[in-house]
Chain A
C-alpha cells in the first residue's frame, strides 16, 4: 500500500502543468527523432541533454524519458508508409505494415500500432510498479552464457520467417552473420575483413544496410513496374474493423508479455522482442501464409512488444543503476549530470523523484496515444501522393538519413550498394528479414560466446551446466528440428511414402 501512496504522490508531482508540458515536448521530439532515419534515439537524446540543464532534475528526466519512448513510436511511421525503418526496432514492422499501406490500410496499421504501443506501455509501467525489484534481480542472472543461448534461440526462430523456402531463410541468416563479422574483433581488437577500409573498422553500419535493403530495394523494384494508381485511404478505415481487432487482441497481449520480460534483461536490445513477437504470431496464427502480405497481427504484436520493452527497460536503470541499452545509458548520463545517480540509493534517498518519473511514464504513454491517433489520418494521406513522387522523396530522405549518421559519404554508398542487393534478393525471392536478424545478433552472439568461454576457462560444458542456458539451447534445437520436419517438400514426402 505504501507503493500506492508513493505512486499517487508521484502522479501529483508529474501532473503539474510544467511537467506535463515537458512530457508533451518530449513525446513530440521523440516522435520526430524516430521518424528521421539515421538519427537514432541514442544520438537524439544525447543532443537534447544540454537543453535540459536549465530545467529542474525531475522535469529534465521526464522530458528525456518521453523522448526515448516517443522515438520508439516514431520509427513505426516511416516503416509503414515508406518501408524505411526509422531504427532497429521498426524493421519488422516494415514487413506487414508496408504491405497494409499498399492496400490502402496504412491508416489502420498506424492506428493499431498506436493502440498496441499504448497498451504495451501502460501494462509494462504497471508491472514495473508492482514487480520491479524482485524481477530485476532475477534478470541479473542472465550472464554471457544465457545471452548466447538467447541469441541462438532468436536465430533459430528465423525458420519462422523463412517463408516458402527454409534453405533460403537459413542461407540469408548466415549471410547476415557473415556481414556482422566485418570490423574490429570485439574481444582481442584485430581488424577482420576490412580490406584496409577504415570506415569498416566499426563494422558494416546497420542503418545504411537496413535502409538500403528495405527502402532503396523497394524503390528499385517499384521503378520496374508500370505506373500504379494512387492508393486511396478512406478515413472510415482508420480504425481496425471488428475482425481485425479480434486478430490483433491476442497479438497485443503476447507482445506485451514478450516485450516486458525481455526489457528486464539488460543488454537485450529492442529488435529481439519485435522479431520474437512476429515469429510467435506467425506460428500461432491459423493463416500463417498471410504474414508478409499485410496481416495486421504482424504489426500489432511487434509494435506492442517494442513499446513494452522500452518501458520495461527502464527497470534495471531505476532499480539497479544498470543501463540496458545505449539510449538508456545516455539517459543515465543525463540523470548523473543532473545530480541524480540511478540505483537503489535513489529509490531510498529520493523516492518522490523516482515515483514522479514512473508516474510520468503513464502520462507519457497517454500523451503519445492522444498525439498520434489523430495524426494517423494525416500521415496516411502521404500515401495518396502519386507513387513516383513518394519514391523520389523516400530516396532523398534515405540519403539524408544515411549521411546524418557519421557525416560520411561512405555510408551513402553502402546504402546504395545494399539497395541494389535488396533489389536482386527480391527478384530472386530470397527473404531479407533473416539477414537483418543475423546482422544484429552476430556481434552479440560472438561476444557472449567468447566471454562465456573466458569465464569457464575454455570449458564448453558451461552451456550445459547453467539451467537457463541449457533450457534455451534445448528450445533452439527443438525449434530447428520441428521446422525441418514440417517443411519437408511435398515431393519428398510422397516419394518416401511409396
Chain B
C-alpha cells in the first residue's frame, strides 16, 4: 500500500510539472523549415544559411525541406495544414503568396488568415538580366525590341503570378506597346539554365539570384527594379533612374507558421531568428550571395503582410487581364 501511495504521489507530481516543463522545453525535437521552391534557388540558399546559424542557438536541428511546385502553392498548402506547434514553419514569399490567394483559378485552400507571420529575412529587389552574349545591352534595347516585335521576345518568370510575373506586367504598363511572350518556369535554377541555353531571351528574377553570375561574367544585369541601385550590383542602373519609377518590384522572404501558433513559441522563434540574422556569419554569408537582409518582426511584419495583400488584389487583376 505504501509503495502504491508513494508511486501515485510521485506520478501526480511528475504530471503536474510536465506542462511547465513542456513550455520551457520548446523545441524538444528538430524543427522543419519549409521552402516552397526547389533547392538551389535564392529563397532556399537564404534559408539554409539562416537555419545553420539559428539551430546552434536554439539547440535543435532546423531542417530545411523543399516543397516546390505551382509557384509555391504546393509548399504553402502543405504548411497551412500542419499543426501550429512550432515544429513546422516555412518561408512565405510575398507577393507570390498574396497572388496565389487572390487568383480564383488557383483554388488555394488557404488565405491570409491561414498563417502566423514570424519574421522577415530578405527583401530582394527585382532584376532584369540576359546572358552575357545577348544582343541586348540596356533596358532600352529590350523595350525597343519588345515594341518592335510584340509578343515575340520570350520573357521568363520563376512562376505564375510571382513577383517576376507582376514585374513584367508593370514594365509593359509603363512602356505601352512593349509586349513579352511570357514563359513560366519553376524556380531560379531553371531560369539560369534556359537563359544560358538560349531558350529564353530576357529573364526577370531578383538580384540575389544573379549576383555571383554577374561577377563571373556569365550574365549581364540590365536593371534593378528599385528606387535606388543595389549595393551588390553598383554598376547596374535602377528602373527609377532609367525613367520607369513605377516599375518597383521585390520579393520578400520571411518565415511564418500555420495559424493558431502559441504567441510564446512565435516570440521564441522570432527572437532566435532575429539574433541569428544579426550574427556576423549570417551578415557575411548573405552578403557574399547578394541577398539584402531586411529584418521585420511582430506588428511591423504583420502590417507589411496585410498591406501587400491589398496591392496584390490590384496586380492579380492586371495579370488576369493579360491572360484573358
* A343 close to B212 (CB less than 8 A): yes
A residues within 8 A CB of B296? none
Which of B71-79, B222-230, B239-247, B264-272 lies at the binding interface?
B71-79
* Alpha-carbon gap, A344 to B212, bound state (A): 10
* Alpha-carbon gap, A454 to B160, bound state (A): 12
* A46 close to B212 (CB less than 8 A): no
* A188 close to B105 (CB less than 8 A): yes
Query: For the complex, is B194 an interface residue (Cβ under 8 Å from A)?
Result: yes
* A330 close to B39 (CB less than 8 A): yes
* A189 close to B160 (CB less than 8 A): yes
* B285 close to A339 (CB less than 8 A): yes
Query: For the complex, is B119 an interface residue (Cβ under 8 Å from A)?
Result: no
B residues within 8 A CB of A352? none
* B193 close to A343 (CB less than 8 A): no
* Alpha-carbon gap, A184 to B68, bound state (A): 11
* Alpha-carbon gap, A322 to B49, bound state (A): 19
Question: B73's closest neighbor in chain A, by CB?
Answer: A189
* B70 close to A140 (CB less than 8 A): no
Known: A185-B70, A457-B181. A343 touches B216 (CB 8 A): yes
State which residues 235-291 of B face A: CB under 8 Å: 285, 288-289
* Alpha-carbon gap, A300 to B160, bound state (A): 43
* Alpha-carbon gap, A7 to B119, bound state (A): 46
Total contacts A-B at CB 8 Å: 145
Bitwise interface map of A from 449 to 476 toward B, beta carbon under 8 Å scored 1, else 0: 0010011010000000000000000000
* A323 close to B52 (CB less than 8 A): no
* B218 close to A344 (CB less than 8 A): yes
* B215 close to A323 (CB less than 8 A): no
B residues within 8 A CB of A184? 69-70, 73-74, 77
A residues within 8 A CB of B190? 267
Known: A50-B61, A190-B107, A337-B52. A329 touches B40 (CB 8 A): yes
Question: B215's closest neighbor in chain A, by CB?
Answer: A345
* A454 close to B189 (CB less than 8 A): no
* A267 close to B52 (CB less than 8 A): no
State which residues 136-186 of B face A: CB under 8 Å: 151, 154, 160, 181-186
* A326 close to B66 (CB less than 8 A): yes
Chain B interface size, under 10 / 10 to 19 / 20 to 34 / 35 or more: 35 or more
Known: A323-B39, A341-B289, A454-B181. A49 touches B48 (CB 8 A): yes
* Alpha-carbon gap, A47 to B289, bound state (A): 22
* A187 close to B160 (CB less than 8 A): yes
* Alpha-carbon gap, A49 to B48, bound state (A): 9
Query: For the complex, is B118 an interface residue (Cβ under 8 Å from A)?
Result: no
Query: For the complex, is A320 an interface residue (Cβ under 8 Å from B)?
Result: yes
* B192 close to A326 (CB less than 8 A): no
Bitwise interface map of A from 137 to 152 toward B, beta carbon under 8 Å scored 1, else 0: 0001111100000000
B residues within 8 A CB of A330? 39-40
* A189 close to B100 (CB less than 8 A): yes
State which residues 327-375 of A face B: CB under 8 Å: 329-330, 332-333, 336-337, 339, 341, 343-345, 348
Which of B14-22, B195-203, B297-305 lies at the binding interface?
B195-203
Query: For the complex, is B63 an interface residue (Cβ under 8 Å from A)?
Result: yes
* B45 close to A336 (CB less than 8 A): yes
* Alpha-carbon gap, A408 to B289, bound state (A): 35
* A47 close to B63 (CB less than 8 A): yes
* Alpha-carbon gap, A374 to B250, bound state (A): 56
* Alpha-carbon gap, A251 to B67, bound state (A): 37
A18 to chain B, nearest CB (A): 22
Query: For the complex, is A17 an interface residue (Cβ under 8 Å from B)?
Result: no
Query: For the complex, is A447 an interface residue (Cβ under 8 Å from B)?
Result: yes
Query: For the complex, is B81 an interface residue (Cβ under 8 Å from A)?
Result: yes
Known: A50-B52, A454-B181. A202 touches B197 (CB 8 A): no
* Alpha-carbon gap, A110 to B144, bound state (A): 62
Ranked 8 nearest A-B pairs via Cβ: A345-B216, A143-B199, A329-B39, A329-B40, A140-B197, A189-B70, A341-B212, A454-B183
What are 8 pairs between A and B in contact, CB < 8 Å?
A50-B52, A140-B198, A185-B70, A198-B109, A332-B39, A333-B40, A337-B48, A344-B218
Interface residues of A (CB under 8 A from B): 42-43, 46-47, 49-50, 53, 140-144, 184-191, 198, 201-202, 266-267, 316, 320-323, 326, 329-330, 332-333, 336-337, 339, 341, 343-345, 348, 447, 451, 454-455, 457
